[in-house]
Amino acid sequence: MKHRIVTLDSINLVKRTMRMTTLRASMTVAIGGMVLATMAFFPRQQAQACTRVLYETGNRAYITGRTMDWADASAKTALWAFPRGMKRDGGVGQNPIKWTSKYGSVVTSFYDAGTADGMNEKGLVANLLYLNEADFGDAAKSGKATLSAGAWAQYFLDNYSSVREAVSAMANPAFAIIAPPLPNGKAAGLHLSLSDSTGDSAILEYIKGKLVLHRGSQYTVMTNSPTFDQQLALNTYWDKVGGNNFLPGTISAADRFVRVSYNLKASPKYKDSGLALASVFSQMRAISVPLGMADPDRPNIAMTLWRTVADQEAKVYYFESVIFPGLSWVDLAKVDLGEGATPKVIRIERGQAISGDVSQAFKPAMPFKWLGAQ
Question: Which stretches of the chain are assigned E, i.e. beta strand?
Answer: 50-56, 62-69, 77-82, 87-89, 98-100, 105-110, 114-120, 125-130, 145-148, 175-178, 190-195, 201-207, 210-215, 221-222, 304-311, 316-321, 327-331, 344-348, 356-357, 363-364
What strand order describes the sheet that includes 77-82?
210-215, 201-207, 190-195, 125-130, 114-120, 105-110, 77-82, 344-348, 363-364
- Out of 50, 129, 221, 254, pick the active-site residue: 50
Q: Fill in the DSSP letter of residue 174.
A: S
Q: How far apart are CA 214 and CA 28, in angstroms?
A: 33
CA distances from 319 to 12, 67, 90, 110 (A): 56, 10, 27, 13
Q: Is 50 a catalytic residue?
A: yes
Query: How many whole angstroms separate alpha carbon 374 and alpha carbon 369?
Result: 8
Task: Give the residue numbers annotated as catalytic, written as ranges.
Answer: 50
